[in-house]
Amino acid sequence: MRLRVLPPTLREKRRYIFFKVIAEAPVEYSDLEAAVWNTMLDFLGEYGVSKTSVWLMKERWDIKEQTCIIKCNHLSVPAVIASLGLITRLGDTRVAIKILKVSGTIRGCTGR
């Protein structure tokens, strides 16, 4: 018995948010990941985070440029952007997060 594939009309529409971390010192991915999850849980709660289908894409973290991509569904883009804007510290380092682009594809975000 084969599993049925969900038709495209019923699939969740994804959006990719390309952002840059502006900090006093270089930031590690693990610190960023912890801060994103903790801030989103505080701001949206567990139920709200589950509705966003958010996923921080580790393979898209660029340590030199301090940029990353976060994936979510199309309805929750404003909530995710608001959550990212609430991040002010990573450990002892003060940071700001700048949203560079929101796109429906990874290629559209990075231009590569």
Q: How far apart are CA 64 and CA 34, in angstroms?
A: 20
CA 13 and chain centroid, separation = 15
Angle between helices 29-52 and 77-85 (to 10 degrees): 140
| Residue 89: strand pairing partners | 94
- Could you give the dihedral angle defined by the CA atoms of residues 73, 75, 81 and 87, in that order, rounded to the nearest 10 degrees? -70
Q: Does 4 score more than 90 pLDDT?
A: no
pLDDT tens for each residue of 17-58? 999 999 999 999 999 999 999 999 999 999 999 999 999 999
Edge-first strand listing for the sheet containing 14-23: 55-62, 67-73, 14-23, 93-103, 89-90
pLDDT tens track for 74-105: 999 999 999 999 999 988 889 999 999 999 99
Per-residue confidence band for 110, with pLDDT thresholds at 50, 70 and 90: confident
Global pTM?
Answer: 0.89
